Amino acid sequence: MKKIVISISLAVISFAVANKAAAQKDSSGIYKTVSDYQQSKLSYAINYKTENHQIKDNFLFNEDKIVVNHEGHTYKLDKNSTYGYKNSKGETFRFVNKKEYRLLNPGESSMLYAYRHSTSTKGAANYVTQYYFSTDAPSAVIALTKENLKAAYPNNHKFHDALDATFKTDEDLASYDSFHKMYKINHLLEMSKTK
């Protein structure tokens, strides 16, 4: 009888965990704090496949606010005190100095970000993407260069050597490894930690 109860309990727990993971996958909302991000806890959350709301991260004439229209109410949050958000396309963004950095690799050890901004030359607007990283969710966002990666992991000489052997230029650092299904930097980082 105890074995049946334990089996049922394990099945219920597995179902609950699977449902939470599935629900989070299709969710959109705000990560108020880094802890919320780490725990996958969204505020003003919806299932974007069945519900609608709006998250505006570039509110006209007020770039330091994020505006959320949720369940008939409008909420204005300060970007400097909000960690980030997940939009209805499933993309995750982190706020740094009132700017939105798109997280390229949720779940990987070192976090990679793309920051896209416009530049104008001779009256024409062009968009430029710059790449950044952080060693974990609460850490500072730093420009993605070999020197900055080495400084972030100062005692991991195996990683330093792998960076030099794998990447000719800093522009190559945002390369994705389709065989390992992760960014090359994180694959090298993981390999450098194994004995």
Residue 119 pLDDT > 50: yes
On average, the pLDDT of the chain sits at 81
CA distance 118 to 99: 13
Residue 138: CA count within 13 A, CB half-sphere: 6
What's the mean pLDDT in 131-141?
Answer: 95
- Give all strands of the β-sheet with 65-70 in edge-to-edge order: 54-56, 65-70, 73-78
Please tell me which residue, 64 or 192, carries the higher pLDDT value: 192
Q: What pLDDT shows up at residue 58?
A: 61
Among 102-116, 139-153, 154-168, the range scoring the smallest mean pLDDT is: 102-116
Q: Which of 54, 31, 53 is nearest to 42 (CA)?
A: 31
Q: Who's near 164: CB < 8 A, 6+ residues apart?
A: 146
Chain segment 46-63, per-residue pLDDT in tens: 776 666 666 766 644 457
Whether 21 shows a pLDDT value over 50: the answer reads no
Q: Does the structure show a pLDDT above 60 at 15? A: no
- The more confidently predicted of residues 102 and 27 is 102
Paired with 93 in beta bridges are 85, 102
- Position 180 scores a pLDDT of 93
Closest CA to 104 of 134, 126, 76, 77: 134
Domain boundaries, the chain: 1-91, 104-195
Q: Which position has the higher pLDDT, 174 or 194?
A: 174
Q: 58 vs 155, which has greater pLDDT?
A: 155
- In a 3-state reduction of DSSP, which class is residue 43? strand
Question: What tens digit of pLDDT does each residue of 72-116 get?
Answer: 788 888 899 999 999 888 899 999 988 889 999 988 878 999 998
18-22, 86-90, 149-153: which has the minimum mean pLDDT?
18-22
pTM (two decimals): 0.77
Question: Quick one: pLDDT at residue 147?
Answer: 97
**Nearest by Cα to 97 from 76, 75, 115:** 115
